[in-house]
C-alpha cells in the first residue's frame, strides 16, 4: 500500500518552455503533499507543501511564480516549472503522507528535468 506515482520520470525541454510534473497517490488520499528538489550528490531540499484545495506553502527562496503547485484533489498534485531555464535542471521528487505528522512520507520515483 501507500504508493505514490510520479510522472513523467524524465523530461527534456527547451529553455523558455513550461513543464508539468504530476504526483498521484494511488491507493490513499493525501491531504498534504510535498515537493522536493535534489541536486546531484546532494540532499533533498523542500520546495513547498501542497495542501488540497488551498494555496501551496513555499519555502524561503523558492519562487512561487516559477514553480506553480496545484493540489486539485486528494490524490493529485502538480508542479509546473514555468519558463524553464538550464539552471532549473534537477531531480524533482514528490511525497505524500497518509496520516499525521508522525507518519512516514511516501515518495514518488522522481522526475529528472533537463532544460536545454
Partner 1 sequence: AQSVAQPEDQVNVAEGNPLTVKCTYSVSGNPYLFWYVQYPNRGLQFLLKYITGDNLVKGSYGFEAEFNKSQTSFHLKKPSALVSDSALYFCAVGSKLTFGTGTRLQVTL
- Which residues form the interface with partner 1 (CB under 8 A)? 4, 6, 34, 42-44, 46, 49, 91, 93, 95, 100-102, 104-110, 112
Q: How far is the CB of 16 from partner 1 (least distance, A)?
A: 26
Q: Is 87 helix (H, G, I), strand (E, B) or coil?
A: helix
> What sign has the CA pseudo-torsion 5, 10, 8, 42?
positive
By C-beta, is 29 or 42 nearer to partner 1?
A: 42
Closest distance of CB 64 from partner 1, Å: 17
Phi, psi torsion values for 32, nearest 5 degrees: -130, 130
End-to-end CA distance of the chain: 37
Sequence-separated (6 or more) residues with CB below 8 Å from residue 22: 5, 6, 7, 76, 77, 78
For partner 1, the closer of residues 3 and 72 by Cβ is 3
Closest approach, Cβ 22 to partner 1, in A, equals 14
To partner 1, the closest distance from the beta carbon of 52 in angstroms equals 16
Q: Which is nearer to partner 1, 54 or 100 (CB)?
A: 100
Beta carbon nearer to partner 1, 37 or 115: 37
Grid look-up 486528494 returns 74
Amino acid at each position: 500500500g501507500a504508493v505514490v506515482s510520479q510522472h513523467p520520470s524524465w523530461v527534456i525541454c527547451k529553455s523558455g518552455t513550461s513543464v508539468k510534473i504530476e504526483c498521484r497517490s494511488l491507493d490513499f488520499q493525501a491531504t498534504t503533499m510535498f515537493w522536493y528538489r535534489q541536486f546531484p550528490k546532494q540532499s533533498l531540499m523542500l520546495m513547498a507543501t501542497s495542501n488540497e484545495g488551498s494555496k501551496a506553502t513555499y519555502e524561503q527562496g523558492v519562487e512561487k511564480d516559477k514553480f506553480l503547485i496545484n493540489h486539485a484533489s486528494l490524490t493529485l498534485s502538480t508542479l509546473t516549472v514555468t519558463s524553464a531555464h538550464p539552471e532549473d535542471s534537477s531531480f524533482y521528487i514528490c511525497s505524500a503522507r497518509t496520516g499525521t505528522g508522525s507518519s512516514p512520507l511516501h515518495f514518488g520515483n522522481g522526475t529528472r528535468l533537463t532544460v536545454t
